[in-house]
Amino acid sequence: MTENGFPVGVATGIGSWPGDDAREAAAVVVGELPRLPHLVELPGRGIGADMIGRAAALLVDLPLDTSTTGYRVAQRPGPVTRAARDHLARDLDALEEAWEVAGRRGTDQPVKVQAVGPLTLASQVELFGGHRALTDSGAVRDLAESLAEGVRAHVAEVQRRLGSPVLVQFDEPGLRGVLDGSLTGVSILQAPRALPEPEALAVLHDAIEAVGVPVLVHCCAASPPLDLLRRSGAAAIGIDVSVLSAADLDGVGELFEDGLTVALGLVPTAAPERVPGWRDLARPAVTLVDRLGFPRTTLADRVVVTPTCGLAGASAQWSRQALRAASEVARAFAEGAEFD
């Protein structure tokens, strides 16, 4: 555990999981990720179960419904909100059961919960007129505040059920598009503007601060805005190592220099033709710290190992294997294994 409250030298998952069996998923995750398991999302169940749909179960006084193009802010809770809350309740029941069976209740063993980040949420949810919420700065703030309040209550509920500390992950896969203004609108003339970085930073920072527990912000997109993420107040930043370019290296180095935990996506989300060993999976991370000039002990002191992204599209067999592989790599880092 680092001074920022986020564990290091461990493996965890990103969030999504294949299939629709919450109990099986919880049992696998708790079993394969002994030091930082997570509450899974099962988008295969349909509306209300995907990343944006899960937000419908968390938002306070901002119900969501569906439109022909996605999710939309509604005037009152309807079937979508009810479905999302039902899915979340089933997932919590399953995790609580697996936690009890594993003998973790009342321990200091942390667990991680995920929610879509406020900026990606605003980029995907529509207002009543069909425009993305991102087009209205007041709506962005309202969504972010509602989400943070809901996540804070969610954390309290998980803590009550498990008797263990809870960490939060905000998923921001759409952050680059928000900053670049590359999102489409209801017409060419009504596309969302590029959100100024200071405004985006303030929204994300305030949401992180309001949650009240250590937060990991995960952005698996290419060219992640590392400087903004570094200044967001997050305790940890999650990135996909396979999409990093030379231009990203200085930003990654600054994350380490600032003492942040870095969650490195090292395990592929789709089963490769040849299953790699832990040394093969670890190599990109070793090369990264070597190129940045950091000692290899950084991999034990500052790194969490994850799959590159969510596993909803993977087979059940590979999903289990991916978590096991991530744990093997994290163990090798923690034990200072030789890589040459």
Domain ranges for the chain? 10-334
The three-state secondary structure class of 69 is coil
Q: Compute, in degrees rounded to 10, the torsion defined by CA atoms 117, 237, 91, 96.
A: -140
* Residue among 264, 212, 213 nearest 237 (CA): 264
Q: Which two tokens stand for residue 328?
A: 């093997």
- Give pLDDT tens digits for 241-265: 999 999 999 999 999 999 999 999 9
* pLDDT tens-digit map of 171-218: 999 999 999 987 875 544 466 888 999 999 999 999 999 999 999 999
pLDDT at residue 2 greater than cutoff 70 = no
Helix-strand-coil split of the chain, %, nearest 5: 50, 15, 40
- Alpha-carbon torsion, ordered 134, 136, 137, 139, to 10 deg: -90
pLDDT at 302 over 90: yes
**Cβ atoms of 129 and 73 closer than 8 Å:** no
The arrangement of secondary structure in 10-334, i.e. its CATH architecture, is Alpha-Beta Barrel (3.20)
Task: Quote the crossing angle between the two packed helices 79-101 and 137-162, to the nearest 10°.
Answer: 30
**What pLDDT does residue 290 have?**
97
Q: What is the pTM of this model?
A: 0.95
pLDDT over threshold 90, residue 90: yes
Query: Residue 170 and residue 176: Cα distance in Å, rounded?
Result: 15
Quick one: pLDDT at residue 185? 59
pLDDT score, position 35: 95
| Residues in a beta bridge with 239 | 264
Secondary structure of residue 276 in the 3-state scheme: coil
